[in-house]
Amino acid sequence: MSRSDVDERRRPNTGLLATLASPADLQRLPAVDLRKLADEIREQLVRHVTRTGGHLGPNLGVVELTIALHRVFTSPQDVIVWDTGHQTYVHKMLTGRLGRFDTLRQAGGLSGYPSRSESEHDIIENSHASTALSYADGLAKGFQLTGSLERRVVAIVGDGAMTGGMCWEALNNIAAAPDRPVVIVLNDNGRSYESTVGSLAVQLRALRTGTARGNVFEQLGLAYLGPVDGHDTLALEAALRTAALLQHPVVVHCLTRKGAGHAPAELDEADHHHTVNPARADVATSQVRGPAWTDVFGQELVAIADEREDVVAVTAAMVRPTGLFPLACRYPERVFDVGIAEQHAVTSAVGLAVAGLHPVVAIYSTFLNRAFDQVLMDAALHRAPITFVLDRSGITGPDGPSHHGMWDLALCGLVPGMRVAAPRDAQQLRLLLRTCVDHQAGPTMLRFPRGRSGAALRATGNIGSAELLTDSRPEVLAAGQPEVLLVPVGPLAAAAVDASHRLRELGIRTTVVDPRWIIPIEPELVRFAGEHRLVVTIEDNTLPGGFGDALARALRRTASRPEIITLGLPGEFAPAGERADLLHTYGLDAEGITHAVATAV
């Protein structure tokens, strides 16, 4: 880091924004100063988020809206719930957290989402989309039942989040209770990660242009105000004050632009949503030797689709982030973006499979949690040949506890007929993806982490479909079968091989086997593991119900019953932090594996 960068970070915050310690201070600010305040907020957003990484575009788009909300409503007396929570950076600045923005999305620092531990102004921690209206419905019911009628409930919902089914389930309930006022602020910017899809986008476009023949919200029984210019603070205040006076559920339709006021964010079609820290990105790139996992998947899927006309893809509002953009460019009619609707994505894929196609459902691991019932009762029950590709599996990094993909193995281990593969490197990803797509007897799943793959690891032998990663020549093993077997999941194989070398230097005979297919546990792997005195499984998945648990259960049914140590993530929410740092914290790097084995033997 340069001297100028350090000085810039230490530079005190000055101006209007620095004088606002709470929303009460904002409410006393003269209206004439609001434009200057908005400019200062944008300057701070760009200054901090381009260093730390995060969701720059969404927050630039809600500057005036957030100011207006906190001038009209009195938080935390009035409850303000955001959907999704990545658009709360301005809210954090206006509720006393400006001084912590140099720690945004860092270990022990400011969360990139609402955080109840940070502030009384964050009553809900919502980082998965389409939840705010359900929270708001419950809060309004609760305030009515407890006599807290002076407390108002406000939900800010992005139009992208409105593509999710939970929003409409909540609207169905909110609109049915006209005596329970909920203010629904529809932040309409035409996008989630991608452009908003489906009939809803058409309806909102008609409302924006004044060509709507009807109003879907009014037809449900909600009051409707707007459209309102979402970058005109005074117009927003007027609309919100009107909404606050209504004793009836109301939608305030606000038109905003992602990235507003910062040309690079507004003009970047591929990344209105995020920004990255260039300095950190350069460091990370210099330390890796392989391509990005997501890119490898996207390229190989295009190659498969070139060969097979039955291969199609489904995603939930994340064509670019999940690697499907190259396929969508080549075969747009074979890629289906269903919006932020993971449940629908899975069951729709079952329909595609029944119709004779092979759907590849590309989704972040953390978001698959939302569709577990559909994976179980729709995909598995029908033995549908679907390939689920789980990006961001395991430890993901600075997005924190809601975004670590640490439950997929535990969940999928419950699903009858499910087969799960975990590639250790880019070459294995290509091979295992093809095997998954070729499988016709039921659903398969391929999981890989965020970031870049490492160097390819050469196999030295096979144990069924598993592969040995340490030297298995007869002369090497002449002294007897290695005492310790390391069984890593996916890219943790590199750390296991490193640990094996360190352990051999300590005189502990060790071998490493990559199972490749981790659900179900293959009999050949169980037999081989039973020949060792100590078996150590390594996974960045929650330990309860994970791969280690499954192998331990299988080994308990054998006569040998070796000692087994399961290394993984505890059954708790993991904090934000860089992937390498968190793997070290949980003992899942070479140092931690070496220590665990050396202590045990």
159 is in an annotated binding site: yes
179 is in an annotated binding site: no
Respond yes or no: is residue 141 known to be catalytic.
no
Which of 92, 180, 258, 392 is labelled catalytic? Answer: 258
Task: Give the gyration radius of the chain's Cα atoms.
Answer: 26
Which of 342, 467, 522, 539 is labelled catalytic? Answer: 342
CB count in 10 Å sphere of residue 587? 15
Respond yes or no: is residue 36 known to be catalytic.
no
Respond yes or no: is residue 258 known to be catalytic.
yes
Query: What are the distances in angstroms from CA 328 to CA 176, 315, 316, 446?
Result: 40, 11, 14, 20
Q: Which two tokens stand for residue 139?
A: 């809060």
In angstroms, the CA 554 to CA 149 distance is 57
- Residue 325, classified by CB atoms within 10 Å of its CB into exposed (0-12), middle (13-18) or buried (19+), is middle
Query: What are the distances in angstroms from CA 473 to CA 122, 349, 428, 476?
Result: 59, 46, 23, 5
59 is in an annotated binding site: no
Q: Which two tokens stand for residue 41?
A: 């907020």
DSSP codes, 44-59: HHHHHHHHH-B-HHHH
Which of 370, 392, 419, 509 is labelled catalytic? Answer: 370
DSSP codes, 484-549: EEEEE-GGGHHHHHHHHHHHHHTT--EEEEE-SEEESPPHHHHHHHTTSSEEEEEEEEESTTSHHH
Query: What are the distances in angstroms from CA 377 to CA 343, 354, 365, 382?
Result: 11, 15, 19, 8
Q: Which two tokens stand for residue 255?
A: 């038109």
Vertex 575: Cα angle to 447 and 419 (nearest 5): 15
590 is in an annotated binding site: no
160 is in an annotated binding site: yes
263 is in an annotated binding site: no
Helices 34-52 and 233-245, packing angle to 10 deg: 100
Residues noted as catalytic: 258, 342, 370
Binding-site residues for Mg(2+) sit at 159, 189
Binding-site residues for thiamine diphosphate sit at 86, 127-129, 160-161, 189, 262, 342
